[in-house]
Structure 1
Amino acid sequence: MLALEYRRSPARFLTVRGASSTRFGARMSGALATNVAPLRLVNHAEPARPATGWTRLKPLLSGICGSDLSLLTGRSSPYLGALVSMPFVPGHEVVAETLDDLPGLARGTRVVVDPVLSCVARAVPPCRWCQVGRHSRCDRITGGRLAAGLQTGFCTDTGGGWSRRMLAHASQLHPVPDGLDDHRAVLTEPLACAIHSVRRVAIPDGAAALVVGAGTVGLLTVLALRAATRVGPIYVIAKHGHQRERARALGATEVFEPSRAARALRRACGGTLEHPVLGPEFLLGGADLAYECSGAASGLDTALRLVRAGGTVVLSGMPSGRVDLTPVWFRELRLVGSYASDGRGVPEGADGASTADAAGAADGSGVAEPGDEPADRAGQFAEALTLAAAAPLDGYVNAVYSLSRWREAIGHAARAGELGTIKVAFDPRRN
């Protein structure tokens, strides 16, 4: 069975990390990942189900995510090293076919995978977060019957979507409607994450939102903001022309090039533009909240500089690099993380947090304290499947490769924006 396997190699990781940190290395990150990162095409034995409630899967499409690229280019944080097991097969954005019968899920069913390996999959008593359906916060992702792994695609026991076979627990699987093709279905996981991110904070009607970055995460965040909230204007910072066109099609009010974002947002939202002796300009004023979707230090720095005092910045992209947090202190900003998605409904206050007014916090910021998210969180994967079928997402998966062409695929994904691509995926069935 063919699979792409990532093995622990501190020397290779540090080599690609050091090279990627240079300006030249950043431009060559795809080449570095394919030539230096410890990723190899191997032949694995067919996986065996570890217990009842599990099924083998045949991946049909599996996306290449920004977090995968961060790992392969050495930009991922060492913090995450304790939460994975080696070697592992990457791939957590997966549409697949079940190969075994499960209760209520017959063999041959097309499914998408919620990748978080929470308490139920690990056969341990549910932690406080899994008890209330917020499995993205699971405290036991290194315990139980499985090797450590925050998600499928980072766990040696489950495999991942960059292979011809993998394993998944029934609790992770969501049937795909017959009318939804594979190219849209594979976007379900990142779209569920986007829906989760816009529900992480209460957004008052008419609030001005800024989305920094217009790759897959940023574009799907624009879609989720329009579909799931009553947000007002949505401003997007996008590097490339095709990204700007797609952002407008999903409901962006205005789209800015990075070099003119501060001035353009000042005209749109008001405030004054300030120019430090050293460092980028910033606003006194700006958007009510911002979503950092690039996963780059420069993107977070931009977001912090362009939201108003008392505003909120949501980390949707996986953060990397050093950032000046002075605006968080000086402008009393809220910095909120958003990871994965929640799969079940949660009653108000069930996690022990105080109840927040859905219209906004008492200080008028329109943002609840972290942990006070709106309670209507039922079925974010089901919501994403419905939205994936209805939204204008044709052509988002516009580069598909076989596993044997993995070097070309990773190189393409690393340069997706400049090549006019949104999502690159593997079709493991191809030779």
Structure 2
Amino acid sequence: MTKEDNLSLVIHKKGDLRLEQTPIPTELGPDEVLCKTHSCGICGTDIHYWMHGYMSSFVVTDPLILGHEVSALVDKVGSNVKHLKPGDKVAIEPSLPCRMCHNCKTGMYNHCPLSNKQVKGSPNFHGMLTRKFTHPADFCFKLPDNVTYEEGAMVEPLAVAVHAVRRVNLTLGQTVLVCGAGTMGMMCLAAAKAHGASKVIMTDINQFRLNVAKEMGADETILINLKTFSVEDVVAQVKQSIGNNGEDGGQGGVDITFECTGNEGSTKVAIYSTNNGGKVALVGLGPLEVKAPLVNASLREVDIIGVCRFRNCYPMAIYLLETGKVNLKPLVTHKYRLEQSLDAFKKMIEPDNNAIKVLIQCNQDF
């Protein structure tokens, strides 16, 4: 290890976030690359680690470099690496599966027991909010010339949305509800539109985000007032937006819902707003247990579908960006230098902060 400048954002425990120098690996494996981070997006998961010390079942127990939504410049390549060279612009897929277990061999490497423990930026495995890091070359995806580093840092959340769309088998002309207009909700909106959804309705508690959702292609938006929130009222608004409440035998809800908040009330809205025989994809992470109207979903044959990160989705996500089928530029509301990382995190938790995707730029020399 060498101790040249490798400033990194490290969480030590709940509420304890520090900028520190960390070692740069000097030994490069034959199948690895050494990368210089350009942009790293702040994810809701990062905020949970900082504010609560955990996210779902992942608990911070040791100092951890954060960051898993990353674009980077290839600095050095291992002896076996042929598809990349120094100077290439790449998006980084952060999970590191074993490649040997049943899940990996059947293509579901996002369920690899090792991958569940080895996701960069999650407890026990350092992330990439740092100047330099090493990574397996086959999980580094070269970006086309017309895709920027900023867009490259958003390939990771876009890949989650691509996986969600695949999980529900969204088809041309279907109607869609997206609960939550944060980063993941916006990604699901973009992916659904790119896959042929005829109408997308968005809900959120923030009018600014809903305005951006309209710019991104949302057909209808519903602003939720937390003080007067009623599941029944929101469901009625969704059905009204579709144009039929189902009373005359027509469609009573949307075909597909992407629940992107993890909130219990929003999960209820998602189920009740979905038409008989429809599908609800649980994209957002919330408490480990929530109350949900499962009997209602069962009797109406509404499928509840889990979404765990992604698998084999980076090429599709990059294609959507390269061809212009998805435009993520409106989502970047704030940029900070690595030295300003603490300010960036504080920005994310400001009330009415009008922040959607906050990017931290770790190197300014390329």
TM-score normalised by length of structure 1: 0.72
User: d(CA) in 1 for partners of 2:158 and 2:235?
Assistant: 28
Establish whether residue 103 from structure 1 lines up as the match of residue 82 from structure 2: yes
SS at match of 2:158: helix
Q: Rate the CA distance shift 1:240–1:422 in 2: closer, same or farther, 3 A.
A: same
Corresponding position of 2:104: 130
More strand by share: 2
User: d(CA) in 1 for partners of 2:355 and 2:211?
Assistant: 13
* Candidates 118, 131, 134, aligned match of 2:97: 118
Corresponding position of 1:192: 159
Corresponding position of 2:234: 261
Deviation of 1:219 after TM superposition, in Å, equals 1.0
* Candidates 43, 64, 69, aligned match of 1:93: 69
SS at match of 1:100: strand
Deviation of 1:205 after TM superposition, in Å, equals 4.3
Deviation of 1:76 after TM superposition, in Å, equals 4.3
User: d(CA) in 1 for partners of 2:278 and 2:51?
Assistant: 32
User: d(CA) in 1 for partners of 2:215 and 2:238?
Assistant: 20
SS at match of 1:58: strand
Establish whether residue 425 from structure 1 lines up as the match of residue 346 from structure 2: no
Q: Deviations over 1:82-120 (max 9, x none)?
A: xx7733211100000112123221122111101111114
* Candidates 129, 132, 141, aligned match of 1:165: 132
Q: Kindly indicate whether the alpha-carbon contact (under 8 Å) linking 1:6 and 1:39 is maintained by their aligned counterparts in 2.
A: yes
Q: Deviations over 1:3-32 (max 9, x none)?
A: 11123x4xxx4xxxxxxxxxxxxxxxxxxx
Amino acid at match of 2:16: P
SS at match of 1:331: helix
User: d(CA) in 2 for partners of 1:322 and 1:132?
Assistant: 29
Q: Kindly indicate whether the alpha-carbon contact (under 8 Å) linking 1:88 and 1:160 is maintained by their aligned counterparts in 2.
A: yes
User: d(CA) in 1 for partners of 2:267 and 2:28?
Assistant: 41
Establish whether residue 339 from structure 1 lines up as the match of residue 339 from structure 2: no
Q: Kindly indicate whether the alpha-carbon contact (under 8 Å) linking 1:136 and 1:342 is maintained by their aligned counterparts in 2.
A: yes
Amino acid at match of 2:90: V
Deviation of 1:298 after TM superposition, in Å, equals 3.4
SS at match of 1:209: strand
Q: Kindly indicate whether the alpha-carbon contact (under 8 Å) linking 2:220 and 2:241 is maintained by their aligned counterparts in 1.
A: no
User: d(CA) in 2 for partners of 1:85 and 1:53?
Assistant: 30
Amino acid at match of 2:319: T
Corresponding position of 2:21: 43
Q: Rate the CA distance shift 1:328–1:309 in 2: closer, same or farther, 3 A.
A: farther
Count of residues in Structure 1 that have an aligned counterpart in Structure 2:
341
Q: Rate the CA distance shift 1:52–1:328 in 2: closer, same or farther, 3 A.
A: same
Q: Rate the CA distance shift 1:75–1:293 in 2: closer, same or farther, 3 A.
A: farther
Q: Kindly indicate whether the alpha-carbon contact (under 8 Å) linking 1:194 and 1:224 is maintained by their aligned counterparts in 2.
A: yes
Q: Rate the CA distance shift 1:198–1:76 in 2: closer, same or farther, 3 A.
A: farther
Deviation of 1:198 after TM superposition, in Å, equals 0.7
SS at match of 1:73: helix
TM-score normalised by length of structure 2: 0.84
Q: Kindly indicate whether the alpha-carbon contact (under 8 Å) linking 1:89 and 1:155 is maintained by their aligned counterparts in 2.
A: no
Q: Kindly indicate whether the alpha-carbon contact (under 8 Å) linking 1:94 and 1:113 is maintained by their aligned counterparts in 2.
A: yes
Q: Rate the CA distance shift 1:250–1:294 in 2: closer, same or farther, 3 A.
A: same
User: d(CA) in 2 for partners of 1:387 and 1:116?
Assistant: 21
**RMSD between aligned alpha carbons?**
2.6
Establish whether residue 5 from structure 1 lines up as the match of residue 10 from structure 2: yes
Higher mean C-alpha deviation, range 191-200 or range 399-408: 399-408
